[in-house]
């Protein structure tokens, strides 16, 4: 019996220091977001103009503008953005018409690794059917 108590005491003393780990309700360890870029695939036949306000450096906020030609893929974030940042991108479809119609959409993107957006027209004959979806 004395040997059993001695074994219990030894096992209790060998535990070491443990770090608390946050567990989500589904039993998995939560994923930590990572920094990344935002790219856009233009699946239309029109030029897309994209802009957003980069406020990563509070002392130097600036607007980042990118033109994405028809059928092209380009990075629209300008550079890698920090993890967990939420950015609102303004997209403008510029049809080649004489009346200068522009179709505008906005999308909010949460930065968690590299993000890829695809822009397309639900009806290829109607620029007002502009849609944005995740291409990942």
- CATH number at 95 reads 2.60.40
Whether 20 maps to a domain, the answer reads no
Rounded Cα distance, 108 and 12, in Å = 51
For 59-71, what is each residue's pLDDT tens digit?
Answer: 889 999 999 999 9
Q: Average pLDDT over the chain, rounded to whole?
A: 84
Domain total of the chain: 1
- For residue 55, being part of any structural domain is answered with yes
Kindly state whether residue 5 falls inside one of the protein's structural domains.
no
**Domain coverage including residue 49:** 32-134
Q: Which residues of 98-135 are buried (b: 16+ CB within 10 A; e: fewer)?
A: eeeeebeeebebebeeebbbbbebeeeeebeebebeee
Residue 8 maps to a domain? no
Low-confidence ranges of the chain (pLDDT < 50): 5-11, 16-19, 21-22
The reply to whether 24 falls in a domain is no
Judged by DSSP in three states, 51 sits in: strand
């Amino acid at each position: 019996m004395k040997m059993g108590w001695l074994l219990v005491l030894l096992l209790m003393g060998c535990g070491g220091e443990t770090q608390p780990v946050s567990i989500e309700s589904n039993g998995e360890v939560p994923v930590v977001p990572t920094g990344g870029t935002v790219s856009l695939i233009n699946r239309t036949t029109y030029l897309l103009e994209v802009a957003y306000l980069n406020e990563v450096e509070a002392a130097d906020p600036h607007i980042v503008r990118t033109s994405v030609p028809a059928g092209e893929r380009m990075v629209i974030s300008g550079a890698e953005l920090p993890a967990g940042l939420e950015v609102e991108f303004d997209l403008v479809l510029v049809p080649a018409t004489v009346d200068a119609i522009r179709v505008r959409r906005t999308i909010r993107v949460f930065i968690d690794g590299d993000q890829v957006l695809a822009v397309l027209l639900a009806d290829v004959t109607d620029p007002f059917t502009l849609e944005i979806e995740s291409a990942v």
